[in-house]
Amino acid sequence: MSPSHCSSIDVFGDHPWKHDHCSTGGGLVPRLHTPMYFFLSNLAVSDIIFVSVTLPKLLSILLTHDHWMSFLCLYDSGVLLRMSAASDVLLLTSMSYDRYVAICKPLQYSLLMSKDVCLSLALSTWLISVTYAAVNVLSTSLLSFCLTQKVDHFFCDPKELYAISSSDVTGRNILMLCEDLLFVSFPFLLILTSYVFIISTILKINSLEGRQKGYSSCTSHLTTVILFYGPAIVIYGKPESEGSKEMDKLLALLYTVVVPMLNPFVYSLRNKDILKAIRSIKRKSTRF
């Protein structure tokens, strides 16, 4: 079917999974039982972990003015933080694939984004993220630190650890570069490729309403991608300078604390399905 006919189909609404209606909020609104909301719930869990690891130390810094972290705290938080970061990247990539299938292959959406496929993607995301975090922290724990036992940061940043290590970190820097290519650059390229096809398909739709619906279905995800990748690209892509440490902390604060807190607003305030679910729950609660 040509893209010009797509506006006459429920292309951008997604297809709810079959489920038993229950008394929960999701049961009240079957349209929330879609792959996008499934991935969004996983992203919410990842963001909660992200904020739970970084925010307590940040509040401690504000209250005590102690900017240093012990290595024990770094290793404890490092696993959760890196697991959360990796899962965020992989979930955003899966969500871009979901948008690609919904807009570019609407007739195959139920098959390509079935419940089993989505569960496999989510499970793979968490398994890969846990493995990546464990290997990364284990590798870092083997370094020697003779000059100091504390790090001037509010979370476990490999760049900060490598900078103060007395061990040869050449191999670790190469490993970090490979990790950046595998867990940041490659997923980012997949997201960009998905949106190239998405935009190309939307532009072929004759109906203005269809094009607007297509763009609106991607706005929230694209906003989150920009908020997440923007500061990370600046931090790890810019050259080092003497006055860059405080700026790095500010940018790190943006994508480790601010972005996870903004994600629920980005996905809910402009989302009619979620707003309808909230109103439906309110109406049901007023009956009791």
Per residue in 57-79, pLDDT (tens digit) is 778 777 887 767 666 667 777 78
pLDDT at 184 over 60: yes
Q: State the average pLDDT over residues 27-33.
A: 49
pLDDT at 31 over 70: no
Tell me which of 21 and 201 has the higher pLDDT: 201
What SS3 state is found at 8? helix
Residue 3 banded pLDDT, cuts 50, 70, 90: very low
Among the ranges 101-115, 188-202, 258-272, which has the highest mean pLDDT value? Answer: 188-202
Chain segment 112-149, per-residue pLDDT in tens = 899 899 999 999 999 999 998 888 888 777 777 765 55
What is residue 128's predicted lDDT score, i.e. its pLDDT?
93
Distance from C-alpha of 154 to C-alpha of 48, rounded to nearest angstrom: 17
pLDDT at 194 over 90: yes
What is residue 151's predicted lDDT score, i.e. its pLDDT?
65
Residue 7 banded pLDDT, cuts 50, 70, 90: very low
Count CB-CB contacts under 10 A for residue 86.
25
Closest alpha carbon to 14 in 123, 95, 121, 128: 95
Q: Average per-residue pLDDT in the chain?
A: 76
Closest alpha carbon to 97 in 203, 194, 168, 199: 194
pLDDT at 88 over 80: yes
Burial of 154 from C-beta contacts in 10 A (0-12 / 13-18 / 19+)? buried
Residue 106: C-alpha distances to residues 8, 11, 62, 198 (Å) = 11, 5, 50, 12
Q: State the average pLDDT over residues 249-259.
A: 75
What is residue 10's predicted lDDT score, i.e. its pLDDT?
45
Distance from C-alpha of 169 to C-alpha of 279, rounded to nearest angstrom: 55
Burial of 65 from C-beta contacts in 10 A (0-12 / 13-18 / 19+)? exposed
Distance from C-alpha of 185 to C-alpha of 193, rounded to nearest angstrom: 12
Distance from C-alpha of 285 to C-alpha of 272, rounded to nearest angstrom: 20
Tell me which of 59 and 86 has the higher pLDDT: 86
What is residue 183's predicted lDDT score, i.e. its pLDDT?
80
Within 65-169, where are the H helices?
Answer: 71-104, 109-112, 115-141, 158-164
What is residue 242's predicted lDDT score, i.e. its pLDDT?
52
Distance from C-alpha of 129 to C-alpha of 83, rounded to nearest angstrom: 5
Chain segment 8-25, per-residue pLDDT in tens = 334 454 555 544 333 333
- Tokens 């719930």 correspond to what residue? 41
Please give the share of the chain, as a percent, with pLDDT higher than 70. Answer: 69
Question: Structure pTM?
Answer: 0.78
Distance from C-alpha of 104 to C-alpha of 197, rounded to nearest angstrom: 7
Q: State the average pLDDT over residues 241-260.
A: 71
Q: State the average pLDDT over residues 177-192.
A: 85
Count CB-CB contacts under 10 A for residue 165.
16
